[in-house]
Amino acid sequence: MQKILEKILVAHDGSKSSDKAMKKAVEMSVCMNASLTILSVIPELYLTELTSVDRNRIFEALASETTEAMEKIRKSLSGRSIDVKTLIRQGDPAEKILETAQKMKADLIVIGSHGRHGTKKFLLGSVSSKIVDYSKCPVLVVK
């Protein structure tokens, strides 16, 4: 007997690929009456040329941009009959996605094939590839 999907985690980084992944995750969430968690991860800034003040300023800008994007997404989904939660984490995107999926006991991770910094010459981006390799639950990669 197949387990019904109850908790879907979708990773969103503002890329076209993650927009497609979110659209698919919303469709699935509606069809299966599953809760949807939208996760955005702000990557750590390891640029050694930057002072900590500049690094903090860049982080603040990224955090603000991400918060606005998540709020826009939440508002766009407010008319839907699904339970939606948005999360923002900081760190290595693949690690934070896997960690969040495990903590929430996700039944499925939905991720775009390429993130903001992905390239079309590879089949999968490095984050989506790591998620596929290390996830303990099924992963849907949306192209």
Query: Does residue 1 fall inside a structural domain?
Result: no
CATH code, domain carrying 94: 3.40.50.620
Where helices occur in 6-92 by DSSP H, the ranges are 16-32, 52-77
pLDDT tens track, the chain, 143 positions: 456 889 999 999 988 999 999 999 999 999 999 999 999 999 887 766 778 888 889 889 999 999 999 999 989 988 888 899 999 999 999 999 999 999 999 999 999 987 655 444 444 568 999 999 999 999 999 98
All residues at 6 or more sequence positions from 125 whose CB lies less than 8 Å from its CB, including other chains: 17, 112, 113, 114, 115, 117, 118, 119
12 part of a folded domain = yes
The DSSP H or E segment spanning 97 is helix 93-104
Range of the domain at 35: 7-142
Q: Enter the tokens of residue 52.
A: 């900590």
Please state the domain count of the chain.
1
Task: State the amino acid at position 61 in one-letter form.
Answer: A
Q: Residue 2 falls within a domain, yes or no?
A: no
Residue 87 lies in a domain: yes
Residue 40 CB coordination number (10 Å): 24
